[in-house]
């Protein structure tokens, strides 16, 4: 189905839980809002995705919070991967539990994974994530490569004076391994938005850094998936470098997605508070057609964009509740 701006909406991101074993300061700031620890029930996820296929949803990404803290993540993956009308199931994870789950997830039908990694320095990793261990996430990345969860994409949020000195280290990683590093602009969340604004490093600035070191990066059309990243590649490298610019650039015009939050609401736009609550319909046993009509309504409520003059792109809820 197309929204009011003729964008075809085919992609549903599902935050299966707002719980997480990390506490990255830019995602779950202490002052950013309460975290009730809610999980959306498996049955609700399955019914929403099934209904979504009636209005053209073809791709689902499981995210969170940390999706791998859910004991039934393999069951969720298998239920969606086996569904008529769904072509692609992907996962976004912090990677710390991926070594343990990769075989079962692969068997359940997971084919692609995005892993968040903001630094290659273990002590810095611990500071950013609050209590995460770099070695565990790196082991998860290696597991993803071993199980062929290709393309393995790394999500790297770049922040001034936090990790912006590592941009070229990440680029060098793509010269060694078939990893697709995506540099993401940090988005302001709730009350901590002032800090994030001061830490913003734009995609353009990152590009300039890349250009200063590499004279001939090649533009690449796509590395699989149809997200908002634009990709480049160092000639001869097995991996690529991408840029996701929610604040400074091309993001909304090609938006093809809807979000199902961990509390059972549909969120038409990442950066706007408007949400359509599905809980009443789900709890009363609404059938597929009724749910599909609600999903269609959420699609028609998608705004043209968050990056125009009238809308300040500040995320009003925790990113872990919305799913990023
Ligand atoms: N826990 C998983 C992970 O970290 O990959 C999945 C959930 S996390 C909310 C999804 C993505 O959102 C991650 O890549 C994370 O880096 C990104 N993210 C979280 N907060 C952000 C922020 N303030 N600005 C930009 N990206 C953010
Ligand atoms: Fe957890 Fe992912 Fe948010 Fe970090 S970015 S706190 S790993 S949900």
> pLDDT per residue over 137-186, tens digit each?
999 999 999 999 999 999 999 999 999 999 999 999 999 999 999 999 99
Mean pLDDT of 18-40: 82
Map tokens 């961990």 to a residue.
Answer: 262
- Report residue 189's pLDDT band, with 50, 70 and 90 as the boundaries: confident
Closest C-alpha to ligand 1, atom 23: 187
Does 66 contact ligand 1 (Cβ within 6 A)?
A: yes
pLDDT score recorded for residue 92 = 98
pLDDT score recorded for residue 309 = 44
CA of 87 to the centre of ligand 2 (A): 26
pLDDT score recorded for residue 310 = 44
Mean pLDDT of 98-120: 97
pLDDT score recorded for residue 192 = 59
pLDDT score recorded for residue 190 = 67
Report whether 247 contacts 313 (CB < 8 A): yes
Nearest-ligand number for the alpha carbon of 65: 2
Q: Are strands 112-116 and 88-93 parallel, antiparallel or unpaired?
A: parallel
Name which residue leads in pLDDT, 219 or 228: 219
Which residues, other chains included, contact 321 with Cβ-Cβ below 8 Å and sequence gap of 6+?
A: 15, 18, 35, 38, 65, 261, 262, 263
CA of 101 to the centre of ligand 2 (A): 18
Domains of the chain in start order, with CATH, are 11-322 (3.20.20.70)
For residues 196 and 313, what is the distance between their CA atoms, to the nearest angstrom?
12
Mean pLDDT of 204-222: 88
Closest C-alpha to ligand 1, atom 7: 64
pLDDT score recorded for residue 196 = 75
pLDDT score recorded for residue 86 = 98
Q: Which atom of ligand 2 is nearest to the CA of 319?
A: 3
Strand, coil or helix: 12: strand
pLDDT over 70 (residue 28): yes
pLDDT score recorded for residue 311 = 46
How much is the mean pLDDT over the chain? 91
Mean pLDDT of 57-61: 98
34-48, 199-213, 306-320: lowest mean pLDDT where?
306-320
Name which residue leads in pLDDT, 302 or 220: 302
């Amino acid at each position: 189905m197309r929204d009011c701006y003729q964008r075809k909406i085919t992609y549903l991101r599902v935050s299966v839980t707002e719980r997480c074993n990390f506490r990255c300061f830019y995602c779950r700031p202490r002052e950013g809002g309460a975290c009730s620890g809610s999980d959306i029930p498996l049955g609700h996820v399955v019914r929403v995705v099934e209904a979504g296929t009636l209005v053209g949803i073809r791709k689902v990404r499981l995210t969170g919070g940390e999706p791998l803290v859910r004991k039934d993540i393999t069951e969720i993956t298998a239920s969606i991967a086996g569904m008529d009308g769904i072509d692609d199931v992907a996962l976004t994870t912090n990677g710390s539990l991926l070594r343990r789950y990769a075989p079962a997830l692969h068997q359940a039908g997971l084919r692609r994974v995005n892993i968040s990694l903001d630094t290659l320095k273990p002590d810095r990793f611990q500071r950013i994530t609050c209590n995460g261990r770099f070695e565990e996430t790196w082991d998860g990345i290696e597991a993803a490569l071993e199980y062929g969860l290709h393309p393995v994409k790394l999500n790297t949020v770049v922040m001034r004076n936090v990790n912006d000195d590592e941009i070229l280290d990440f680029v060098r990683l793509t010269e060694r391994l078939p990893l697709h590093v995506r540099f993401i602009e940090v988005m302001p969340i709730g009350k901590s938005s002032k800090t994030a604004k001061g830490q913003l490093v734009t995609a353009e600035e990152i590009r300039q850094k890349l250009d200063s070191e590499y004279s001939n990066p090649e533009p690449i059309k796509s590395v699989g998936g149809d997200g908002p990243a634009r990709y480049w590649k160092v000639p001869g490298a097995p991996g690529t470098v991408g840029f996701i610019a929610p604040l400074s650039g091309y993001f909304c015009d090609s938006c093809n997605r809807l979000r199902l939050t961990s509390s059972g609401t549909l969120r038409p736009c990442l950066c706007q508070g408007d949400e359509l609550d599905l809980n009443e319909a789900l709890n009363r046993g609404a059938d597929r057609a009724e749910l599909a009509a609600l999903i269609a309504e959420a699609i028609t409520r998608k705004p043209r964009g968050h990056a125009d003059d009238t809308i300040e792109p500040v995320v009003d809820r925790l990113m872990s509740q919305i799913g990023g």
